Amino acid sequence: MCGIVGYIGRDRAGSVMLDGLKRLEYRGYDSAGMAIMNGQGLETTRRTGRVAELEKALGNSPGGRLGISHTRWATHGDVTEENAHPHVSSDEKIAVVHNGVIENYLSMKKFLIEKGYTFQSETDTEALANLIAYHYAKEPEVAGKSRFLESVRKSLRHVEGAYGIAVICTDYPDELIGARKGSPLIVGIGKGENLIASDVNAITQCTQNVIYLNDGEVVHLQKEEFAITSASSKDVEAIIHQVDWDTSEAELGDFQHFMEKEIFEQPTALENGMRGRFSDDGSTAFFGGLNLSPRDLCNVDRILFIACGTAWHACLVAEYLIERYARIPVEVEYASEFRYRNAPLDKNTLVFAISQSGETIDTLAALREAKRKGYRTLSINNSVGSTIARECDGGIYQHAGPEIGVASTKAFTSQVMLAAMVALYLGRIRNLSFDQGTQIVEALKELPKQVREILGQSDHIASIAKKYAQAEDFLFLGRQLMFPIALEGALKLKEVSYIHAEGYPAAEMKHGPIALISPECPSVFLATSGGIFPKSLANMQEVKARKGPIICVASEDCDLPAEIIDDLIKVPESHDIVRPILMSIPVQLLSYYIALERGCDVDKPRNLAKSVTVE
């Protein structure tokens, strides 16, 4: 949550930070603010609402050589200008922007009030600004040491909770300090300028050279140099990574919204995710970064997937696929639940984390709990250098490109495709024949073309969306592999259109949800051919008997009676292993077009942020 951008260097701090905030607005958009050292002291500007409101308040091309900025997703306190970041200490010497939650801020605040410090906001962050000011006032001047740096370091020793921070001090106009614990922070190394940000998207317009800070590290930046130390003041060797994607990937181009752009980018994202990952004989997949041999994987008795939100739905698909094709028992846990319960796991359990950002706080904490207990860990994520990617024993990079829209689309289908490839790889190690493997590989290679065919129906799906846009309840129903897609379809509709929607296994409809069926409650059925198709057809008949409208997303080989379907979206006939991906595309488009009809902000849905980095 929340977006941080800090800058030190040439006389363009304000404009660089403003551009960075626009790129980070998907992380939080309740309010935005900026503090700049302009040669005459500290100038702070804050506004509620979107970054555009801050831009208006700043006027033309704000300069400055040093500054910090922030776009907020509220945790402590209402959405007000007083609660917007940056927060400045009551002696007006220290300014802080912060992502995370300081759990002991109330005791800190009580202590500081007794020492004469005053507070203007309801936030936890202001307590940290005043605590740094308190230690700064007490810190003696020592030759060769930054009094400012030492005061930040001493303050952080008293902080309980998670933070990613950027700090400036009026007495040190040539220094910028950042630190992280549980919340991502990235350093950008430029020429005559250096930056701090919570996401690499914010700084690639200035530099492609980045450093991913680890928990407990503090970075001390000047315009020509930098130093990274641990919480205990030990020097840390910095590893500089080069960002390998074009900044234009994070721009809208000819599309109206990022969600639309990312839906239509899915064929390319899928191609990129599978490129170079099939064996020469075309019978299996392989992954270079697992760091586990086939022999190691043969010894795995159980797989545990952990994730949150959309990624959790991808894990459910992985469960069906791995159990079907590799015959390995799979469990799926909400990361937020797993981390707080002492679940018994077999000693030969492999723990797999899925997270688009690689920074999801609950998934990271659950992963660390699994590692603490000695389990091998792997990940699927879309962010090179992310904390989850670095802390796992191995992993698979999605290569989906930056995903800016808050509602995940291409990252989800990429995760599902990689889960299918993992199922293939594990299956070929264990029980799948050569012929079965080649059939799956051919189906995967055909997938991007089939997704393009479905995207070609966008006008048809938009017309269906127009018909149902004013409904206030939806049901999404599917069986077996289609159940996770029903959950994902319902989540997408909730996220972007604010319509109440629920996903269920179709057979469970009779166990309660059928009470919701009415002419005002559409049902979206996800139907595929096969032995279970007659059961899905019977469920549709039950809805139709109660006068419920039916939107059916069905594979082309399904024989559907026209009289029970109100609206039909066809997807190409395909191998079972890729059907979850193909069936996802129409429900994404349906949610997108319904949200447009309702006038919703699809890229920045209310109350949501892209990356959940606070508990």
Q: How far apart are CA 19 and CA 11, in angstroms?
A: 15
Name the 3-class secondary structure at 140: coil
Q: How far apart are CA 414 and CA 132, in angstroms?
A: 43
Q: Phi first, then psi: what are they for 545, rounded to 5°?
A: -65, -20
Q: How far apart are CA 548 and CA 233, in angstroms?
A: 66
Residue 350's nearest CA partner among 312, 392, 382, 308 is: 392
Q: Which of 109, 492, 570, 610 is catalytic?
A: 610
Q: Check if 521 is active-site.
A: no
Q: How far apart are CA 51 and CA 368, in angstroms?
A: 35
Distances (CA, A) of 461 to 317, 521, 526, 592: 24, 18, 15, 10
Q: How far apart are CA 96 and CA 130, in angstroms?
A: 10
Starting at the edge strand that comes first in sequence, how are the strands of the sheet with 94-102 ordered?
A: 87-88, 94-102, 161-169, 176-181, 217-221, 226-230
Output the six-digit token pair for 277.
């990952």
Residue 26's nearest CA partner among 408, 416, 589, 527 is: 408
Q: How far apart are CA 485 and CA 416, in angstroms?
A: 10
Contacts of 191 (CB under 8 A, 6+ apart): 207
Residue 47 belongs to what H/E stretch?
A: strand 42-48
Beta bridge partners of 394: 378
Output the six-digit token pair for 390.
């670095």
Cα Rg of the chain, angstroms:
26
CB half-sphere exposure, 531, CA atoms < 13 A? 1
Beta bridge partners of 334: 307
Residue where the block lists tokens 């600004």: 129
Q: Check if 206 is active-site.
A: no
Residue 68's nearest CA partner among 225, 229, 221 is: 221
Catalytic positions, written as ranges:
2, 610
